[in-house]
């Protein structure tokens, strides 16, 4: 069957039906309150920081705050908050249904397994991107809100403020795409996703020290390349501490390569997931 | 012809080292077919195999001419009510059926109409907009049944569908199965309640420890069991004379007068010749009120074939 004769309209309708069923579950996963805590913790800290600065007269340093944002974004938000948030959301897309013994309802519908994987992935992506992109936006507002309106306007419209914000939102979205696909696959391939989560966490942490080819088999490599503000020298090189080891990115990719590379990685992982779902059998007794 | 049947060709299924079913060959025609056997005999495995929820370790299955590896085609023609008593969370009965229909790609008006029809057909109309979490066991069973048949399939596979139903609903549900079978559907039912299966089925598949031990119409299966004489109950006005005349024949094993003195329980190795004898006896002046086989029900057949205690009667 040629590409144009494939039943795209049917698949679109089926994916929309899947999204209607799945989105609510993805926004509120099994015992998933911690995802929201993790996502919005930096915004709360920035709000507290702004409150203290305001009490002290509001004479903060915009440049310093920009570096603080970049550091927290790379060290905490990308590597921990989004990483573990995606574990919570995407691992449960299939794994949670198996534990609830309700996956067979999808398998009893006239639904290609590929469509099921795409529909579930999109529902997780929608939830993760709304949660984490809104957090990124809130963090940005919370960190800079104590500056005077002139300073903020200058930074946003005459400096790099809006550019940085757009880049951070884009990186957040791509992080959800990348980690989402990886953890959807992990939930399908492994009965205990905890172990594989730790392995992926370590793999991502040592990414900067891997051979160039292996670096590309990771999500963080592409995300680091797209971050708009470099980590301050004082952290990334001088001290030689553990943070500097993580932050190093000796051969960053160009933005186009990074975006394309991440999307290719995501497509490859989703293809692997589809293959696994096609082979999946319903045998709740073994779980 | 094969497009009208559910066919198992030398199908085996192993769960690791554990046998699910072994070397099953079946060709199931339209009508009501019951899979009968105790727990662990392989009924659910057969149903999961014919709906593609599990894959055979060896052999081939086709359902109405379709492979079970193509859910996108198969489940437009097949509905399966599983034994799993679990549901997607937070849905009402209506939403459960409606959302399933939306997965077919049906637009809202069609899905709404089909869902409402199916829910009415299982008599759950009043509870349709209540959360499934608040349903009784019988209501959960019926909403699963509504979901399995809402898309008007050609084959309906039902794993213990009468479990948890009260007697009234049970009778209504059996009537529903009969009407579906009369419409030309394949209705495959698993059960361990033998007397229900006996009255319900056009054909039975008897299973034991993963093997098909017999299949076909229950009376036909019974006639093939030569080592157990057929038992026939005769109500007549002269039981002693009938018993003595019958006992002269070499194919008779036993002729016992019933405790109430109104008939005879005969055991014979050749039912056809015995029926001819009864015709002659009737012509010779013995008034025969009724003749009925006494042991060609599923329970007796099951006990004869498997040689162990039969499933729940």
Average pLDDT value over all residues in chain A? 88
**Closest chain B residue to A112 measured between Cα atoms?**
B72
Q: Does B102 touch chain A (CB under 8 A)?
A: yes
Question: Structure pTM?
Answer: 0.84
Look at B20 and B198; give whichever has higher pLDDT: B20
- Nearest beta carbon to residue A281 from set B53, B71, B102: B53
pLDDT band at B313 (very low <50, low <70, confident <90, very high): very low
- Nearest beta carbon to residue B86 from set A13, A21, A102: A102
The percentage of residues in chain B with a pLDDT greater than 90, rounded to a whole number, is 46
> What does the block give as tokens for B291?
């003749």
For the segment A203-252, what is each residue's pLDDT rounded down to a tens digit? Answer: 998 887 888 888 888 999 999 989 988 877 665 555 555 556 566 666 77
- Report the residue of A17, A27, A102 to disrupt the B interface, i.e. the one with the largest count of B CBs within 10 Å: A17
Q: How far apart are CA A122 and CA B38, in angstroms?
A: 44
Worst-scoring range by mean pLDDT, A31-45, A126-140, B96-110? A31-45
Report the SS3 class of residue A55: helix
- Nearest beta carbon to residue B100 from set A24, A109, A284: A109
**Closest chain B residue to A278 measured between Cα atoms?**
B69
Q: How far apart are CA A50 and CA B195, in angstroms?
A: 77
A138-153 in b/e form (b: 16+ CB < 10 A) is bbbebbbebbeeeebe
Q: Exposed (0-12), middle (13-18) or buried (19+): which is B86, by Cβ within 10 Å?
A: middle
For the segment B38-55, what is each residue's pLDDT rounded down to a tens digit? Answer: 888 899 999 999 999 999
Worst-scoring range by mean pLDDT, B9-23, B175-189, B221-235? B221-235
**Closest chain A residue to B70 measured between Cα atoms?**
A112
DSSP state of A61: -
**Range A84-92 average pLDDT:** 94
**Range B84-92 average pLDDT:** 91
Instruction: Please give the pLDDT value at position A180.
Output: 97
Residue A13 to residue B105, Cβ atoms within 8 A: yes
**Closest chain A residue to B97 measured between Cα atoms?**
A105
Strands of B18-28's sheet, edge to edge?
B18-28, B6-15, B58-63, B66-67
Q: Does B285 touch chain A (CB under 8 A)?
A: no
Q: How far apart are CA B169 and CA B141, in angstroms?
A: 11
Min Cα distance B59 → chain A (Å) is 17
Q: Does A18 touch chain B (CB under 8 A)?
A: yes
Say if residue A3's pLDDT is above 90. Answer: no
Residue B104 to residue A110, Cβ atoms within 8 A: yes
DSSP state of B270: -
- The residue to which tokens 């951070």 are assigned: A168
- Count of C-beta atoms within a 10 Å radius of residue B29: 12
Q: Quote ipTM for the complex.
A: 0.83
Q: Does B71 touch chain A (CB under 8 A)?
A: yes
Q: Does A99 touch chain B (CB under 8 A)?
A: no
Worst-scoring range by mean pLDDT, A182-186, B115-119, B287-291? B287-291
Instruction: Please give the pLDDT value at position B276.
Output: 86
- Count of C-beta atoms within a 10 Å radius of residue B77: 17
């Amino acid at each position: 069957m040629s590409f144009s004769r494939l039943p795209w309209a049917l698949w679109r309708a089926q994916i929309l039906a899947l999204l209607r069923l799945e989105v609510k579950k993805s926004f509120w996963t099994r015992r998933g309150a911690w995802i929201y805590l993790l996502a919005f913790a930096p915004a709360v800290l920035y709000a507290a920081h702004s409150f203290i600065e305001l009490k002290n007269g509001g004479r903060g340093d915009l440049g310093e705050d920009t570096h603080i944002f970049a550091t927290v974004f790379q060290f905490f938000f990308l590597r921990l908050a989004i990483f573990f948030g995606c574990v919570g959301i995407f691992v449960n897309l299939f794994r949670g249904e198996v534990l609830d013994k309700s996956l067979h309802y999808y398998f009893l519908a006239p639904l290609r397994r590929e469509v099921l994987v795409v529909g579930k992935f999109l529902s997780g992506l929608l939830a993760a991107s709304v949660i984490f992109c809104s957090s990124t936006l809130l963090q940005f507002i919370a960190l800079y809100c104590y500056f005077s309106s002139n300073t903020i306007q200058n930074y946003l419209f005459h400096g790099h403020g809006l550019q940085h914000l757009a880049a951070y939102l884009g990186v957040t979205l791509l992080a959800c795409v990348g980690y989402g696909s990886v953890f959807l696959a992990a939930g399908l391939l492994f009965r205990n996703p905890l172990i594989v989560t730790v392995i992926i966490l370590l793999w991502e942490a040592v990414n900067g020290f891997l051979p160039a080819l292996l670096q590309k088999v990771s999500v963080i490599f592409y995300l680091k390349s797209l971050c708009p503000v470099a980590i301050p020298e004082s952290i990334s090189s001088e001290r030689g501490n553990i943070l500097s080891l993580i932050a190093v990115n000796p051969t960053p990719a160009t933005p186009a390569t990074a975006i394309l590379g991440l999307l290719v990685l995501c497509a490859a992982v989703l293809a692997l997931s589809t293959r696994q779902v096609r082979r999946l059998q319903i045998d709740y007794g073994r779980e | 012809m094969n497009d009208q049947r559910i066919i198992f060709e030398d199908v085996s299924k192993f769960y690791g080292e554990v046998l699910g079913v072994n070397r099953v060959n079946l060709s199931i025609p339209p009508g009501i077919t019951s899979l009968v056997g105790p727990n662990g005999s392989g009924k659910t495995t057969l149903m999961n195999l014919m709906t593609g929820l599990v894959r055979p370790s060896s052999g081939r299955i086709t359902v109405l001419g379709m492979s079970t590896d193509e859910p996108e085609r198969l489940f437009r023609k097949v509905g399966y009510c599983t034994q799993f008593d679990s549901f997607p969370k937070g849905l009402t009965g209506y939403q459960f059926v409606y959302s399933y229909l939306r997965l077919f790609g049906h637009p809202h008006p069609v899905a709404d109409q089909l869902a409402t029809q199916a829910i009415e057909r299982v008599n759950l109309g009043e509870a349709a907009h209540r959360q499934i979490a608040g349903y009784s066991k019988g209501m959960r069973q019926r909403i699963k049944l509504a979901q399995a048949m809402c898309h008007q399939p050609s084959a309906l596979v039902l794993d213990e569908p009468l479990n948890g139903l009260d007697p009234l609903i049970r009778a209504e549900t059996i009537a529903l199965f009969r009407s579906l079978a009369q419409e030309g559907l394949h209705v495959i039912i698993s059960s361990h309640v033998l007397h229900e299966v006996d009255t319900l089925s056009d054909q039975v598949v008897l299973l034991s420890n993963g093997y098909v031990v017999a299949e076909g119409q229950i009376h036909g299966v019974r006639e093939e069991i030569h080592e157990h004489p057929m038992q026939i109950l005769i109500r007549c006005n002269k039981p002693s004379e009938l018993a003595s005349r019958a006992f002269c024949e070499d194919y008779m094993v036993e002729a016992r007068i019933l405790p109430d003195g109104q008939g005879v329980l005969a055991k014979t190795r050749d039912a056809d010749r015995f029926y001819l004898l009864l015709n002659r006896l009737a012509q010779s002046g013995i008034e025969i009120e009724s003749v009925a086989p006494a042991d060609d029900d599923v329970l007796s057949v099951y006990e004869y074939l498997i040689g162990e205690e039969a499933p729940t009667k």
